[in-house]
Amino acid sequence: MSEEFEEPQSPAMLNHGWHEMEGEPKPGIEETVDEAIYKVMVEQRREVNKRNLPDLNG
């Protein structure tokens, strides 16, 4: 077994260029991972609510 073991890339390397490709602004350095996760969770909850609740505006 002489397989090379590759070091896993750091998350920073894996995410490099992602925002540019998606056309989204980069989050500020002050934004923590917890804040980013919270924002995503809130956005997902809004989407679910939009699908599951009737439109109260008519």
Radius of gyration of the chain (CA): 19
Run of H or E residues at 12: helix 11-14
User: Is pLDDT above 60 for 57?
Assistant: yes
Contact 45, 52 (CB under 8 A): no
Contact 25, 19 (CB under 8 A): yes
Return the domain boundaries, the chain: 30-58
Query: Which of the two residues, 50 and 26, has the higher pLDDT score?
Result: 50
Between CA 49 and CA 54 the distance in angstroms is 9
pLDDT recorded at residue 44: 93
What single-letter amino acid sits at 8?
A: P
pTM of the model: 0.36
pLDDT tens for 7-44 read: 655 555 555 554 455 555 565 656 688 888 899 999 99
